[in-house]
Structure 1
Amino acid sequence: MIHVSALRKVYDTGVVALDGVDLDVREGEIFGVLGQSGAGKSTLLRCVNLLERPTSGTVTVDGQDLTVLGDAELRRARRRIGMIHQHFALLSSRTVAANVAFPLEVAKVPRAERRARVAELLELVGLDGKAKSYPAQLSGGQKQRVGIARALAARPKVLLSDEATSALDPGTTQSILALLRRLNAELGLTILLITHEMHVIKSICDSAAIMREGRVLESGRVHDLIARPGSQLTRELFPLPEPAPPGSLTVTFPAGQAEEPVLSGLVRKFGVDVNILGGSLEELRGVSVGRLRIRMEGEDTAAALAYLRGRGLLVEEETP
């Protein structure tokens, strides 16, 4: 649904915000881009809908290269791309209903059709009954729900989220993430979100990329990245003391195996001694995944290692 190729953005000041970014977002998935401030995430998002025009490279959305479009064609293409903002970007002088209706007014949708669509959207995001309220009368979570409803007004295929939960408290954040996941499932929306918060990736993302200094360090499906040796996402998701002690093993338990008694079975089967040096257990989209650092000693450690790998576990050895 979204294909970004060799994307560069260099500002007039000489700052390189994006340095050869490649990214592929599949239709119907939630894709999270993780990185700290200055990594280039926001610039990437704004380049996807051409609010920022890239210096070079291409951005293709739903099979259409946006970088070659004229102004009128680009405006039409943007109607298929909704966007929600970190600080809501609502019009304070307009009611909730009028804020949601605004993109429909711009598109010259007839009044009766606008009213019906606004009512449908407010019910969808859980704000029926708030149509006549003003932004100042709403909580942060309610404001973001208005922003989401407005972004969906023109029935986009793609939804872009610019740090949509970073200004919210933890409980409200979870409710907004749950709403995004529901909209993804019910409407078939493709969602590209940027965040600096790992729990957003853990909670709702099917795929992810890590950015640093304008470049993508790695990208792919979250569960595939966890099973990849040396994965940066895995190190950030399951923090363990670094560097790993020489002779230690780092074992990553993929989905479905984190709660199985693998180590106790290993000890009984091979008579090895296992010392646990550290570990972490997380839930990804409701599925437990774990990572352990261990030291193993005994006469049959080679067979024990083969046993672990044979069960589909990722075992990384720290050589002396």
Structure 2
Amino acid sequence: MGLRKVYRVKRREVLALDGVDLHVRQGEIFGVVGQSGAGKSTLLRCVNLLERPTAGSVAVDGEELTALGGARLRAARRGIGMVHQHFALLSSRTVAANVAFPLEIAGIARAERRRRVGELLDLVGLADKAGAYPAQLSGGQKQRVGIARALASRPKVLLSDEATSALDPATTASILELLRDLNRELGLTILLITHEMDVIKRICDSAAIMESGAFTESGRVLDLLATPGSLLARSLFPLPGTGLPDDTVALTYTRAYDEPLMSELTRRFDVDVNVLGGAVEEVSGVSVGRLNVQISGANRDAALDYLSGKGLLVEVAGR
């Protein structure tokens, strides 16, 4: 909470984190999205104390890491797994040996290491690659090895540092599906950083937008989608652009409606409704719809109020 991180670079101070408050609920996937230089990686490294914050505190699973040091901190870190952008595999070790590496460091007996490695490779779908070397694997397979290794010590929290940014779209989708499956099957809490809004849309329960070392907004993704003026909502579902009529209205809804709302508008308020386009997408496991409509007539404002009262997010282009 209140994380602040200042670096000294050539006799000047660079503020990387500026009072960041982050709360990730147990068992959820929380995404932090932002451009390069926003402070995302610094935040992640402060969470597992690879970087010590200049000010503020870090608590994971009820234990304040910033109050620990030495052996106690190393023990606490074993409850936090880390997945890297560029895999960070040891090229001279086989897949099985890479996954076993943290278990060796922890002093786990060989028989138990072998059993655990087999379990993990089966979990990530690489049981047949145990004897292969990293150079023989595709990018997606390398990342699966990295995920298996991160889970070796049975962490309760998994940190993902741009885990899909080096992958093609199809492989990205498979890795995100794996992370969601692990979250559900193991009750794993996942904190991921990304610069891709599609990652937030596909698997995150909650999210934050980060700029210049601070959160500009954060919350549950579905709540943000229903919040007027939300930057996240506008990034996931951009408002109508140029070329559309000035009276275009964007309607966002996060649940199905049994009643024919557009027909009801024309009957109740004597307005003309012209549907210009729309789409339904899966966001955080829920179908979210965006409809662009043109509504005209003397009772237009009353019609918009009616839609808002039905739980739709109503945004008028140009406002």
Residue type of the alignment partner of 2:3: L
- Once the two structures are TM-superposed, the CA of residue 269 in structure 1 deviates from its matched residue by 3.1
Is 1:141–1:168's contact at 8 Å kept on the other side of the alignment?
A: yes
Does the CA contact (< 8 Å) of 2:88 and 2:146 recur in 1? yes
Amino acid across the alignment from 1:45: L
Distance 1:260 1:177 in 2: 35
Following superposition, the deviation at residue 79 of structure 1 comes to: 0.1
Label 1:131 to 1:58 Cα distance change in 2 as closer, same or farther (>3 A). Answer: same
Give the 3-state SS of the residue equivalent to 1:23 in structure 2.
coil
Alignment check: 8 A CA contact 1:32 1:201 kept: yes
Number of residue pairs aligned between Structure 1 and Structure 2: 315
Aligned CA distance change for structure 1 residues 311 and 20 (closer, same or farther; 3 Å): same
Amino acid at match of 2:163: A
Shift in Å at residue 292 of structure 1? Answer: 4.0
8 A Cα contact 1:274 1:296, kept in partner: yes
The 1-side partners of 2:95 and 2:51 are apart by: 28
SS of 1:24's equivalent in the other structure is: coil
Task: Give CA-to-partner distance per residue, 1:95-131, whole Å, 9 cap, x none.
Answer: 1111000000000011111110001001011010111
C-alpha RMSD of matched pairs (Å):
2.1
Q: 1:185 matched to which residue of 2?
A: 184
State whether residues 255 and 288 of structure 2, in contact with CA within 8 Å, keep that contact through their aligned partners in structure 1: yes
> Structure 2 CA distance, aligned partners of 1:241 and 1:8?
38
**CA distance in structure 1 between the partners assigned to 2:291 and 2:129 by the alignment:** 49
| SS of aligned partner of 2:22 | strand
Code of the residue aligned with 2:256 in structure 1: it is G
Contact 1:251 1:313 in 2 (8 A): yes
Give the direction of change, closer, same or farther, for the CA distance of 1:314–1:262 in structure 2 (3 Å limit): same
Structure 1 residues 108 and 17: CA distance shift in structure 2, 3 A? same
Give, in angstroms, the shift of residue 304 of structure 1. 1.5
Rounded to whole Å, the distance in 2 between the matches of 1:218 and 1:140 is: 33
In the aligned structure 2, how far is the partner of 1:37 from the partner of 1:134? Answer: 31
In structure 1, distance between residues paired with 2:178 and 2:78: 21
Q: Is the 8 A contact 2:203 2:285 kept in 1?
A: no
Partner of 1:291: 290
Give, as a single letter, the amino acid of the residue that structure 1 aligns with 2:208. A
8 A contact 2:277–2:293 mirrored in 1: yes
SS at match of 1:11: strand
1:240 CA drift (Å): 2.3
- Tell me by how many angstroms 1:73 deviates: 1.1
CA contact (8 A) 1:256 1:287 kept: no
Task: Report matched runs for 1:45-60 at 5 Å.
Answer: 45-60=44-59
**How far did 1:248 drift?**
5.3
Q: How far is the alpha carbon of 1:316 from its aligned partner?
A: 3.6
Pair 1:7-2:6 in alignment? no
1:1-320 to 2 correspondences below 5 Å: 5-13=1-9, 14-241=13-240, 249-257=249-257, 261-275=260-274, 281-317=280-316
State the percentage of identical aligned residues: 71
Give the match's secondary structure for 1:58: coil
- Aligned-residue offset at 1:15: 1.3
Name the CA shift for 1:280/1:233 in 2 (closer, same or farther; >3 Å). farther
- Which letter does structure 2 place at the counterpart of 1:73? R
The TM-score normalised by the length of structure 2 is 0.92
Q: What CA distance in whole angstroms lies between the structure 2 residues aligned with 1:166 and 1:272?
A: 47
Q: Which amino acid aligns with 1:83?
A: M
What runs of 5+ residues in structure 2 fail to find an aligned partner?
A: none
CA–CA distance in structure 2, aligned partners of residues 260 and 219 of structure 1: 32
Whole-Å Cα distance in 2 between the matches of residues 306 and 280 of structure 1? 22
Gaps of 5+ in 1: none
User: Residue deviations 1:130-185, cap 9 Å, x none?
Assistant: 11111011111110010000000000000000000111111111111111011000
Verify the 8 A CA contact 1:240 1:279 in the aligned structure 2: no
SS in 1 for 2:125: coil
Q: Normalized against structure 1, the TM-score is what?
A: 0.92
The separation in 2 between residues aligned to 1:39 and 1:282, in whole angstroms, is 28
Aligned partner letter, 1:148:
I
